[in-house]
């Protein structure tokens, strides 16, 4: 499957427009008018939201117009509309994103040290083609350096999970 630039433009314009709508709804709950001594709390977000909706609509219409023009050119067999993401790219991005999301879920549940060890090792092993023990060593090395920098040098505690206490690390 190929995502066309047109789809991406439309999707983004709708999303930013929706953000504007959300802001307007949120602002109107607070009141966007005037009180005795000045504008109400929703005043600023309300009008900023309005501007955002306007600009998003403009971009939406612009994307549709450009798409029409491009389609006309395609019909005239001149050129193909610029693809946004080819299948191969989509696969690469998808894998990377999935691994990243996995890392975040892992961090929230198992703590950042275990999760980054697993994530880096997985990537080196599956994608980099390193042998498993080399990959694990790279991951472990990174986690140890991370621990030393944050917890020992800067004394900033990071998220820990159920495994660190077993190793005597709090």
Partner 1 sequence: MGNFDLLMHGFAIAITPMHLMLMVGGVLMGLVVGVLPGLGAPNGVSLLIPLTFALDPTSAIILLSSMYWGALFGGSTTSILFNIPGEPSSVATTFDGYPMARSGQSTRALTLAFMSAGIGALIGVVVITLLAGWASKFAMRFGAPEYFAVYFLAFAAFIGMGSAAPMKTLVSLTTGLLLASVGMDTVTGEIRLTFGLNELLSGISFLVVVIGLFGIGELLSTVQEGLRFRGVASKIDLRDVLKTMAELPRYWATTIRSGLVGIWMGITPGGPTAASFMSYGIARQASRKGEPFGTGRPEGIVAPETADHSAGSCAMLPMLALGVPSSATAAVMMGGLMIWGLTPGPMLFATKPDFVWGLIASMYVSNLIGVILVLATVPMFAALLRIPFTIIGPMIVVICFVGGYTVSNSSFDLWLVLVFGLVGYLFTKLNYPLAPLVLAMVLGHKAENAFHQSMILSDGSLAIFFSNTLVASIMAIGIALLVLPKTLQLGSRLRRRVPVE
| Interface contacts to partner 1, rule CB under 8 A | 5, 8-9, 12, 16, 19-20, 22-23, 26-27, 30, 34, 37-42, 44-45, 48-49, 51-52, 55-56, 58-59, 62, 84-85, 89, 92-93, 96-97, 99-101, 103-104, 107-108, 112, 116, 119-120, 123-124, 127-129, 138, 142, 146, 150, 154, 156-159
Residue 143 CB, nearest approach to partner 1 (Å)? 9
Pull the structure tokens for residue 5.
Answer: 């630039």
Tell how strand 3-4 and strand 83-85 pair up: antiparallel
Treating both helix axes as pointing N-terminal to C-terminal, what angle do 43-75 and 5-30 enclose, rounded to 10 degrees?
160
Residue 58 CB, nearest approach to partner 1 (Å)? 4
R_g (Cα) of the chain, nearest Å: 25
Which residue's CB is nearer to partner 1, number 120 or number 164?
Answer: 120
Pull the structure tokens for residue 96.
Answer: 């990377």
* Alpha carbon distances (Å) from 31 to 44, 52, 95: 10, 19, 45
The angle at the Cα of 80, spanning 74 to 82, to the nearest 5 degrees, equals 130
Which residue's CB is nearer to partner 1, number 80 or number 145?
Answer: 145
Residue 31 CB, nearest approach to partner 1 (Å)? 9
């Amino acid at each position: 499957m190929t995502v066309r630039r047109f789809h991406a433009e439309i999707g983004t314009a709708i999303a930013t427009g929706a953000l504007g709508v959300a802001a307007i709804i949120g602002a109107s709950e607070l009141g966007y008018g005037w009180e005795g001594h000045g504008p109400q709390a929703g005043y600023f977000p309300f009008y900023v939201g309005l501007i955002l909706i306007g600009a998003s609509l403009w971009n939406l219409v612009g994307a549709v117009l450009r798409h029409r023009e491009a389609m006309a050119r395609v019909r005239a067999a001149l050129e193909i509309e610029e693809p946004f993401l080819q299948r191969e790219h989509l696969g690469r991005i998808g894998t990377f994103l999935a691994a990243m999301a996995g890392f975040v879920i892992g961090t929230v549940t198992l703590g950042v040290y275990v999760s980054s060890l697993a994530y880096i090792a997985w990537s080196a092993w599956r994608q980099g083609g390193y042998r498993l023990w080399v990959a694990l060593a790279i991951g472990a090395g990174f986690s140890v350096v991370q621990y030393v920098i944050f917890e020992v040098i800067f004394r900033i505690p990071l998220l820990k999970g159920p495994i660190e206490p077993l190793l005597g690390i709090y």
